[in-house]
């Protein structure tokens, strides 16, 4: 008999809607839900690309909404919910997700769903944080990114990035609650995503491209020139990430000694920006040693049809993972991408979830929550295959509403 425990109380409506594997749930009482012996494991993998990559299905979740995946040494985390069913935070063991799935917290609203992260031993979402693995010591505020000591955020009114020491970020309560003990990290910023490495905060800037500053604000912000060697400069670039420039930075990642970028090479000025006489128009992935000025840039992959319409980039332990507009998911080793490249699967959720448009397009919130439906550790890539719900997703009706959590072994190195 398979059981799913709920550490935050029994909510039959939530569980009946959220967790379903092609069978009706038999709801138990008190602190657990009895799924009964008739419930079968997830459907087997059928796509030939997934079979070739040794992808397996870990669990299927029937949910109106679904959040990012977060990962640590032992567990996977995600949140899900729906209009009448509430919103909940879930956890399972990476080695056996379905039989160890457990609810660890109730969430307040749909704003809790879009982005879930795990840094410095803390789980975080747009309006809350708690300690992994059981969601203890919960607080009612969140950050785009954080470390063990500080939270970092962007203030669109001042175009500046700040930080504060957790948990002493606020004074007062209710409508009188205000930020306190905050310090300036960088000004004149237009960030769309944040990354942390050692004592540096990196972000993809709407105007300047790949940018960084010291986490304490002691040194000014500087941008990566994108040229043939690692060069950080304080001069302004104006790359225009809306696509109007000669080079568009689609996405960035930090991994080890490198900062990676997915680039869209555009007009005739692109070769001058990149310092590359042979760069053709299209998508390319490059990397720079971020802490080694003068180190040669390395092209990971370029002029490859499988990069067409690249929409997102992840890198972990030297393995590069990307998804395309048609939902195909790929990976390769950064050191030998053309030879090691493989297709992991189809219907990758990261691209398929339609982003919410800003309410005021003249003053868009640049740091809208970034969903990450891919989580990686030393052994495997965990990712979500999207169902079809045309009101939420960019897809054609298929009749299935199950999100499928999948596992693909990493490429041997």
Please list the ranges in the chain whose pLDDT falls under 70.
1-41, 62-66, 81-86, 109-114, 173-181, 236-245, 267-268, 351-371, 387-402
CA nearest to 284, candidates 257, 255, 262: 262
Residue 323 burial by CB count (10 A; 0-12/13-18/19+): exposed, middle or buried?
Answer: buried
Query: What residues have CB less than 8 Å from 412, skipping those under 6 apart?
Result: none
Q: What pLDDT does residue 370 have?
A: 57
Q: What pLDDT does residue 174 have?
A: 66
- pTM summary value: 0.83
Residue 291 burial by CB count (10 A; 0-12/13-18/19+): exposed, middle or buried?
Answer: middle
> Cβ(169)–Cβ(181) under 8 Å?
yes
Tokens of 178: 């205000």
DSSP code, position 168: T
Q: How far is the C-alpha of 21 from the C-alpha of 41, rounded, in Å?
A: 7
Q: What pLDDT does residue 396 have?
A: 44
Q: Tokens 């001042």 — which residue?
A: 158
Q: What pLDDT does residue 127 have?
A: 79
Which tens digit of pLDDT belongs to each residue from 309-330?
A: 888 899 999 999 998 877 889 9
Which tens digit of pLDDT belongs to each residue from 15-54?
A: 322 332 222 222 222 223 222 222 235 788 988 999 999 9
């Amino acid at each position: 008999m398979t059981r799913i425990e709920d550490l935050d109380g029994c909510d039959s409506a939530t569980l009946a809607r959220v967790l379903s594997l092609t069978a009706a749930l038999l709801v138990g009482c008190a602190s657990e839900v009895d799924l009964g012996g008739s419930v079968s494991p997830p459907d087997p993998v059928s796509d030939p690309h997934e079979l070739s990559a040794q992808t397996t299905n870990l669990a299927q979740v029937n949910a109106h909404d679904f959040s990012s995946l977060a990962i640590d040494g032992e567990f996977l985390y995600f949140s899900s919910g729906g209009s009448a069913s509430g919103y909940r935070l879930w956890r399972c063991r990476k080695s056996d997700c379905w039989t160890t799935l457990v609810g660890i917290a109730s969430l307040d609203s749909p704003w809790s769903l879009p982005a879930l992260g795990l840094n410095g031993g803390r789980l975080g979402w747009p309006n809350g944080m708690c300690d992994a693995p059981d969601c203890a010591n919960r607080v009612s505020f969140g950050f785009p990114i954080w470390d063990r000591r500080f939270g970092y955020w962007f203030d669109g009114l001042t175009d500046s990035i700040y930080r504060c020491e957790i948990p002493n970020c606020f004074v007062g309560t209710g409508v009188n609650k205000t930020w306190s003990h905050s310090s300036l990290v960088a000004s004149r910023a237009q960030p769309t995503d944040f990354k942390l490495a050692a004592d540096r905060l990196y972000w993809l800037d709407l105007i300047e491209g790949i940018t960084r500053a010291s986490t304490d604000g002691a040194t000014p912000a500087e941008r990566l020139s994108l040229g043939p060697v690692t060069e950080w400069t304080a001069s302004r670039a104006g790359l225009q990430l809306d696509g109007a420039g000669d080079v568009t930075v689609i996405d960035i990642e930090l991994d080890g000694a490198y900062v990676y970028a997915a680039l869209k090479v555009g007009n005739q000025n692109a070769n001058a920006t990149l310092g590359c006489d042979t760069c053709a128009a299209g998508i390319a992935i490059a990397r720079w040693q971020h802490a080694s000025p003068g180190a040669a840039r390395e092209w990971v992959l370029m002029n490859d049809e499988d990069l067409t319409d690249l929409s997102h980039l992840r890198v972990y332990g030297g393995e590069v993972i990307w998804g395309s507009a048609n939902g195909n998911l790929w990976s390769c080793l950064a050191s030998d991408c053309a030879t090691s490249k493989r297709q992991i699967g189809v219907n990758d959720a990261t691209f398929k979830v339609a982003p919410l448009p800003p309410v005021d397009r003249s003053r868009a919130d640049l740091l809208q929550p970034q969903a990450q439906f891919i989580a990686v550790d030393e052994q495997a890539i965990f990712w979500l295959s999207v169902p079809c719900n045309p009101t939420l997703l960019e897809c054609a009706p298929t009749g299935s509403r199950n999100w499928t959590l999948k596992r693909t072994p990493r490429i041997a190195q």
